[in-house]
Amino acid sequence: MEGVKDSSRILILDYGSQFTQLIARRVREARVYSEIHPPTRTVEWIRNWKPTGIILSGGPNSVYGEDVPSADPALLDIAPVLGICYGMQLIAHLQGGEVIGAGKREYGRADLVVNEPAGLFGGFDAGEKTPVWMSHGDHVDVPPPGFRVTASSGSVAIAAMRHESKPVHAVQFHPEVAHTARGADIISNFVFDVCGARPSWTPGTFIDEETLRIRERVGSARVICGLSGGVDSAVAAALVHRAIGDQLTCIFVDTGLLRMHERDQVERTFRANLGIDLVTVRAEERFLGALAGVDDPEKKRTIIGHTFIDVFEEAAEKVGEGVAYLVQGTLYPDVIESASPRGGPSVTIKTHHNVGGLKPGMKFKLIEPLRELFKDEVRNVGRELGLPEEIVGRHPFPGPGLAIRVLSDVTEEKLEVLRKADAIYLEEIRAAGLYDDIWQAFAVLLPVRSVGVMGDFRTYENVVALRAVTSTDGMTADWFPFPHDALARVSSRIINEVRGVNRVVYDISSKPPATIEWE
């Protein structure tokens, strides 16, 4: 990220671990900037990036396998290095140690015994036992020349090691996960004591650096922003507005895929709180016409993304001459889920509206000021910019809107059923004082009908699923343990007040293996 060249920053090379994003989170929680890149980055590129420290993530491969990701040994001389799991095995392999297979994979809790209370284990006691999380097949059997063992466990004699004279450290366990009791201390010791980083990654510094970057890039050009009413686009708009003022015009598109009273709320809230030029475009028929008969979620996302751009281009012509940029509230999890992070080995989960659904040949250049931030960081930036809590504390809402919560082809009739059910759900959550305890809550209209009885009559109506999760950044999530009486009220109201629904179910899936949205 250009804006943090002169600040401390940790480079994370992604070798395919499911926990790589957690490493970035833990470093940022220590107020030090971090970025995830693929292991294919060259030594020259890494030197030019000027990392304060480098972390090699875990991964599913064996260092002795074919076509597995590796590293140039010169990497270990650029900056202090921490290898985690596969990263540790790779360091051992590159430096002449011996890595062997365990015969079976070790997955779960283990007790770590600290041999050397210094470096990564500064602040620990010699001989201290602490719970850690293991997830590996291979392990280091013989340390490389010049390395010493700093911790062990019941199953792994070399659970941590360090070079005797260079700032190269490695651990077999995962300090980034919550199951490792003192993982935050270990990462903090690496970042501050080993790397000498400064805790300068704050909302204020981000705003100052990003404001300058946007101002330099845009110059005198005009900019438009697709304002959805959600947290991300609101914070992106406020940040760009701080940088370029009246050069920004926000365009709110009523797609017909919004929640109940969404347009009125957006117009009232953003004109009052942001003081930004706001243009509203009514395009309900256009979007519903484009989506007619489409039930594939990826096609829905693509159609909606392309139609958005068409509407933006037409609206921009009315804004005036010189519109060259489009602002989007893309976040880091959007980028990670839409494509491999920086070209790394992770698997594409879904195309995100902000990332993969844009129309080829679009005439605007993109400004994505929040692209490197997690959701909680975006909220903090919004608060620093002075946005009201009703905006920054709002639950996430997907760019494609209710189209991906109707799990079949999209019609106005289905949208109306879903809108009413969703409004009742959120109303009851707020009435119960639970809204701020939940990361995201919404209703889904399932593509099935069920038999029911209302009065003396048999019914054959729609099924609505309710989803509510807790999370920090959307990368992982647990289902929210609703009080039974609250769920009962929601179910009763939906069935009694929303015509066409006779059954309500609650989703108790976590992410992973599920995603938060159903499509």
Please give the positions annotated as active site: 85, 174, 176
3-class secondary-structure state, position 358: coil
CA distance 422 to 415: 10
Residue 324, C-beta contacts closer than 8 angstroms, at least 6 positions apart: 218, 221, 222, 223, 364, 365
Residue 157, C-beta contacts closer than 8 angstroms, at least 6 positions apart: 141, 149
CA distance 243 to 404: 34
3-class secondary-structure state, position 340: coil
CA distance 111 to 53: 27
- The DSSP symbol for 403 reads G
CA distance 323 to 320: 7
Q: Pull the structure tokens for residue 204.
A: 């204020």
Looking up tokens 């995100």, which residue turns up?
Answer: 352
Cα-Cα-Cα-Cα torsion 33, 35, 39, 43, nearest 10 degrees, comes to -50
Listed in order, strand segments (DSSP E) in 336-434 are 365-367
Contact 490, 425 (CB under 8 A): yes
Listed in order, strand segments (DSSP E) in 195-272 are 222-226, 248-254
